[in-house]
Structure 1
C-alpha cells in the first residue's frame, strides 16, 4: 500500500467485518479503530449507555483523524448503518486527501448469519453479545450504501479468500 488510505469496514453485526478488519490491520500493519470496544470502554468509564453510540463513532473519527493528520493510513470497524457516519468518513478522507476505501461485509445466507450471532463470543469487557433479534432490528434500520465499495458475501467464501479479495481491492 503506497498512498494514505482510510479503510472503512461496514456491515451488520456478525457479518464478518471485525474479522476482516483485524486481518487487514495485521496484513498492512495499520492501526484499527473499532467502535464496539470504544463504546464498551465508555460504559466501563461510567458513561450512560443511552448516549454512547454516536459518541463512540466520534471517538473513532477523532482517532482516525489524528493518524491521517500524521500521514498514516487507518482501518475502521463499525456497522455504519446510516448516512451520518458514512458522511463523516467521506469528509475525513477529503480533508486529508486520503483514499477512502469502503468494504461492506454482508452475510447473504441468513441461517449462517444467525448461527454466527448465536455462537459468537467476542469477549469485549462490559459489552454483552448481541442477540439475533437485535441484528434483525439493525437490519431494518440499515440504509443501502450508495458509495463505491467492495461488497463481500462472507457466507459464500472462507476468510482467507475474503482477505485476498480485500487486499486486491486495496492495492
Structure 2
C-alpha cells in the first residue's frame, strides 16, 4: 500500500505521517529530506525543480515492489504530483490511499509555521506569507481529510488506521 500524504507546510502532515509510519512499521519517505539532500550535494542556489519528487517516486516504487508499505510525505500541491504518486502505485500493483492534512484553525496554523524549527539540516522553512501565497490545487477526488487542529496525533493516527483497515505494530 502507498499512503500519499499532502498538505500545506505547518499543517501537521510530517508529524502525522511519521507517527503513522512508525505505527504501521512502514517506510516513511519525505520529499523535504530528499530535496535538501539534493541541494546539499551540489549547487545550493540551483532550483531542483521536480527532482525530489522524481527520486521519491523511484524509491517508493522499489519498496512497493518488495511488498513494503510506504508513507509518502510531501506538500503534494499539484494534481500532476498526485497523479504521479497514483501511477507509482499502479506500476507496483499496490493500493493507493490519499490523505490530505489540513489545520482548520488558521491562527494555530500560522503559529506552527512561524515557530517550528527545521529538523532537516539546512532546510529553510517557508514564512507564513509564502504558505498563504503557495499554489495549492484542490484535490478534486476527495482523499481522506485529516484536520490536525481538532485531534491529537495519536487520535489522528488511530482514525487513519481504522479507515485504512490495517494495523501492523512494529516488533520490538
TM-score (norm 1): 0.92
Correspondence for 1:62? 58
1:127 counterpart = 2:140: no
Given candidates 114, 138, 148, the residue that maps to 1:144 is 138
Given candidates 52, 66, 80, the residue that maps to 2:48 is 52
Check whether the contact 2:118–2:124 (CA below 8 A) recurs between aligned residues. no
1:8 counterpart = 2:4: yes
Correspondence for 1:156? 150
Given candidates 19, 31, 53, the residue that maps to 1:35 is 31
RMSD over aligned Cα atoms = 1.2
After superposing on structure 2, the runs of 4+ consecutive aligned residues of structure 1 that deviate more than 4 Å are none
Deviations 1:7-35 (A, max 9, x none): 01110000110001100110011111101
Correspondence for 1:90? 86
Check whether the contact 2:26–2:69 (CA below 8 A) recurs between aligned residues. yes
- Indicate the SS of the match to 1:52: coil
| CA distance 1:65–1:49, shift in 2 (3 Å) | farther
In 1: Cα distance, 2:15 partner to 2:32 partner: 13
Correspondence for 1:170? 164
- Residue ranges of structure 1 left out of the alignment (5+ in a row): none
Shift, 1:49, TM fit: 4.4
Shift, 1:115, TM fit: 0.4
Check whether the contact 1:39–1:53 (CA below 8 A) recurs between aligned residues. no
Shift, 1:50, TM fit: 3.8
In 1: Cα distance, 2:89 partner to 2:5 partner: 14
- Residue ranges of structure 2 left out of the alignment (5+ in a row): 166-172
Q: Which has the higher helix share?
A: 1
